Amino acid sequence: MREGQLYINGKFVNSNSRKTFVSLNPATAKPFGIYQAGNKKDVDNAVKAAKKALPSWKKTPAPKRAEILFEVSSLLRKNKEKLAKIMVLEMGKILKETRGDVQEAIDIFEYMTGEGRRLFGHTAPSELKNKFCLTFRIPLGIVGLITPWNFPIAIPAWKLAPALICGNTCIFKPSSDTPGCAVELIKILEKACIPKGVVNLITGSADDVGIQIIKHPNLNGISFTGSVETGEFITANAGLKKVGLELGGKNAIIVMDDADLDLALDGIIWGAFGTTGQRCTAASRVIVHKKVKKELEEKLVKKAEKLRLGSGLKETTDIGPLINQKAVEKSEYYTNLGKKQKAKLLCGGQKADMNGFFFRPTVFANVKPKMRIAQEEIFGPIVSLISVSNLNEAIKVCNSVKYGLSSAIYTNNIRNAMIAINEIEAGITYVNSSTIGAEVHLPFGGVKATGHGREAGWTAIEEFSEEKTVYIDYSGKLQRVQIDTVDVKKK
């Protein structure tokens, strides 16, 4: 059984609560590790440490901050296999996916290392003579980073790397389902010589830790990935902090009648069942042209039924477990709801007869766009097939949900692709590729109930900094904009 502590002001410490909690291995439902249950006092101590560290870290030249990020990237690379195997045991997804999770962290720290020599501002002409105008980036201050369990190293890295390169200090709260991965990431940061107080880790519940971070008066920003309900709570309770929210999706793959069906099938299998459907970008809807509906259904069921469930450490496993028992119950609930609403269950739809939190890959056909299984985020290995007659109808169905994160269209017609790109309401659209697989140097985020803000790429810098405007007047006299500006036409 692994053990983990809080990390405050450069030291691993026990919680003031003197309480602990256990995280489980979802493939066995047995304990994985025991971790500290943080409380308000711990959060206060972490904020004090972050506040004390902020002036020095803020004044550290960005290229020097980047040297630490580069060392983090190097250490992650050296420890990739070890971290991937720990993640399999605590989170459940298969080894090739956990390796990808760590690789994302490597990539984002490496990318943000380069931003240490950029952090670009702008220059602009003044409307007055002998006056110079420019902008540059300043950190927010102390930021709270609240992360989910499905990418327990990648998503924290997506938030930590840009926050740190911008000069912020951080209070990091991971999911209570995957605290062990967070502890391992902090160990990497410590080994890379991050100054004490710059990054602080508080494990524990949403009530005892999360809410304290959200409401804390000394924090300047919150970055959250998780549910819509929690995002709404943050919006209502964070006050005037700068808030970034990534809240999930009900993503669709459109398959047109001119699509390469085998290519589309690979994308559907990966999008619907990768990470056991536990991705905010998972393809939980397939909107298929009626001309190829029957052929696609037959191929999809045949392939889904061959997927092998088991421990993610086995190279032969295709799909790992769901994260916990509640996730299994949720998948069971939506399966029963789909059948009740007269969708046709083609395969799966039940918990696997094995230890751990396994649920069989599930495919529904004859799904109507307004059915709840086609509207609500399930976060499990369940995909709904919706038949349409043309591209306009497909786009209308695609846009009929409250979310707008990721989307995809399979077609060999460039006109279909361009219309979809322009008319689908989503932050991300793929053409002839699945809905999952973001790259760290490009913006990631969505529209509508998916939230606001963009992570990764250059937009992550905008999330964790503010732009300061500077006017330098070297005329030697008072110049008043809009009053002393020369009117060229009158001249």
- Reported as a single tens digit per residue, the pLDDT across 171-196 is 999 999 999 999 999 999 999 999 99
229 and 283, same domain (yes or no): no
One-letter amino acid at 221 equals G
462 and 376, same domain (yes or no): no
Instruction: Provide the pLDDT for residue 380.
Output: 98
Do the domain assignments include residue 95?
A: yes
Confidence of residue 283 (pLDDT cuts 50, 70, 90): very high
> Is residue 488 predicted with pLDDT exceeding 90?
no
> Is residue 486 predicted with pLDDT exceeding 70?
no
190 and 300, same domain (yes or no): no
286 and 313, same domain (yes or no): yes
366 and 311, same domain (yes or no): yes
Tokens of 80: 């990739």
405 and 282, same domain (yes or no): yes
Of 359, 365, 358, nearest to 339 by C-alpha is 365
Mean pLDDT of the chain: 97
Do the domain assignments include residue 437?
A: no
6 and 79, same domain (yes or no): yes
305 and 406, same domain (yes or no): yes
Instruction: Provide the pLDDT for residue 154.
Output: 98
Confidence of residue 12 (pLDDT cuts 50, 70, 90): very high
166 and 297, same domain (yes or no): no
Query: Of the ranges 9-23, 288-302, 352-366, 473-487, which one carries the lowest mean pLDDT score?
Result: 473-487
> Is residue 237 predicted with pLDDT exceeding 80?
yes
Q: Is 324 exposed, middle or buried (0-12, 13-18, 19+ CB in 10 A)?
A: middle
The pTM for the full model equals 0.96
Active-site pick, 71, 280, 455, 463: 280
Of 431, 461, 485, the residue at which a domain comes to its end is 431
How many domains does one find in the chain? 2
Residue 333 in contact with residue 351, Cβ under 8 Å?
no
Do the domain assignments include residue 479?
A: no
Residue ranges of alpha helices (H) inside 251-292 are 261-273
Q: What is the domain-level CATH number for residue 410?
A: 3.40.309.10
Active-site pick, 90, 115, 184, 246: 246
Do the domain assignments include residue 482?
A: no
Confidence of residue 73 (pLDDT cuts 50, 70, 90): very high
Residue 458 in contact with residue 437, Cβ under 8 Å?
no
Q: What is the domain-level CATH number for residue 202?
A: 3.40.605.10
Distant-in-sequence, close-in-space partners of 128: CB < 8 Å, separation ≥ 6: 473, 475, 479, 481, 484, 485
Percent of the chain with pLDDT over 70: 99
Q: Is 280 a catalytic residue?
A: yes
Of 371, 378, 368, nearest to 284 by C-alpha is 378
68 and 13, same domain (yes or no): yes
Do the domain assignments include residue 489?
A: no
Do the domain assignments include residue 65?
A: yes
158 and 209, same domain (yes or no): yes
> Is residue 6 predicted with pLDDT exceeding 70?
yes
Instruction: Provide the pLDDT for residue 490.
Output: 58
Q: Read off the pLDDT of residues 87-133 as tens digits, 9 standing for 90 and up.
A: 999 999 999 999 999 999 999 999 999 999 999 999 999 999 999 99
Q: Is 305 a catalytic residue?
A: no
DSSP 198: S
Strand order in the sheet with 362-365: 344-347, 362-365, 382-388, 283-289, 251-255, 407-410, 430-431
Instruction: Provide the pLDDT for residue 198.
Output: 98
Instruction: Provide the pLDDT for residue 489.
Output: 61
- Domain of 84? 2-247+450-470
Do the domain assignments include residue 481?
A: no
Do the domain assignments include residue 483?
A: no
Average pLDDT for 229-242: 97
One-letter amino acid at 239 equals G
86 and 171, same domain (yes or no): yes
What separation in angstroms does the CA of 28 have from each of 32, 281, 321, 331?
9, 26, 9, 18
